[in-house]
Amino acid sequence: MAKYTRASSRGDRYNRRLLFMSAGCGMRDRLLAAEKVKAIDWRDGALYLLDQRILPFEETWIAYTSAAGVAEAIRSMVVRGAPAIGISTAYGVVLAARARFAEGGDWQAALEEDFALLADSRPTAVNLFWALGRMRDRLERLKDHADPMAVLEAEAIAIHESDREANLTMAQLGVDLIRKHQGNAQAILTHCNTGALATGGFGTALGVIRGAFIEGMVERVYANETRPWLQGSRLTAWELSNEGIPVTLNADSAAAHIMKTKGITWVIVGADRITANGDVANKIGTYQLAVNAMHHGVRFMVVAPSSTIDMNLASGDDIPIEERDGRELLEVGGKRVGADVDAFNPVFDVTPADLIDAIITEKGIVERPDTAKMAQLMCRKRLH
């Protein structure tokens, strides 16, 4: 494992929207032009991950050459965001296969240990298990291929590129839905980080917000700080401010007050797992946002690729919820700030489908999701 660092700077803050729109491009072209940040890079046979634990103060890339290293990167939050975890997992399988193949013998059987290691890294984000399943399926179809490593590498790259394309499609669909219900400039509330740092491309929920801003439909974004890892303040605010998108940071507990007083029209969030009935597991605090949105008449949108949908689970009651060390709540920067008590630190919660106005995927939009609508969605092919 190797890493290199450079100081992070906000750069020139200017309104890119004017640049995109003046070019006379279609919306997809303007979205592509807005891709400025990435968190995952595969080159020279190694996986490079932008260390998201120390953003925005430093931009440090860490190189990984083993499945064990990738699993630890996922577990320790070097990389986070369900789509990004899935992509990193796929590359982790490539690294593992290369090492097992070099050892000789029954390398495919030996690879099972690496599959288990990667599967154990984090339990809630289903994209991780989806990526493992897709890589396993490709592995089983290798037979006696002359260059199995090249085939597996191509599959991981395809997963990466597919997520990027899904991001673009979801952004367009989300913007269309916002325009359909209320197309004028508006205030949007978001939670956690769902941008380029959490995906293989433009972003999920933040991708929709970016697209809506480019189309002149966003006046301001309110970003929850997202305790305890502060993904909202460290990552989302960093991404938006660097693109000249007006963003205001707020404490998570201020969300209801903001909905009441700041003219919020949409809450837009991502997802780590969506069940067959449309229940959504996302960063802790999402459920209370949905309850507050319902009370204040604010629309609630979930944006996630179809790889996040787990049709094997009937409802959110079946989703395993990750709990992390309580010290994450009791300490800041390694310094204890809380009383000497036990701390409960679930990092996800489940939002019931009946609190959700729309789920956006690259396969299409499900409004007021339920079991029948989710099944119908998953029978569709991708829209692009």
Q: Catalytic residue numbers?
A: 272
Alpha-carbon gap, residue 231 to 252, rounded angstroms: 12
| Beta carbons within 10 angstroms of residue 292's beta carbon | 21
Residue (of 111, 104, 119, 106) closest to 70 by Cα position = 119
- CA distances, 316 to each of 193, 274, 290, 348, 364 (Å): 21, 8, 15, 11, 21
SS (H, E, C) 260-289: HHCCEEEEEECCCEEECCCCEEEECCHHHH
Alpha-carbon gap, residue 330 to 343, rounded angstroms: 7
Say whether 243 sits in a helix, a strand or coil: coil
Alpha-carbon gap, residue 95 to 99, rounded angstroms: 6
Give the H/E segment covering residue 355.
Answer: none
Give the H/E segment covering residue 180.
Answer: helix 148-181
183-204: b (≥16 Cβ within 10 Å) or e:
eeebbbbbbbbbbbbbbbbbbb
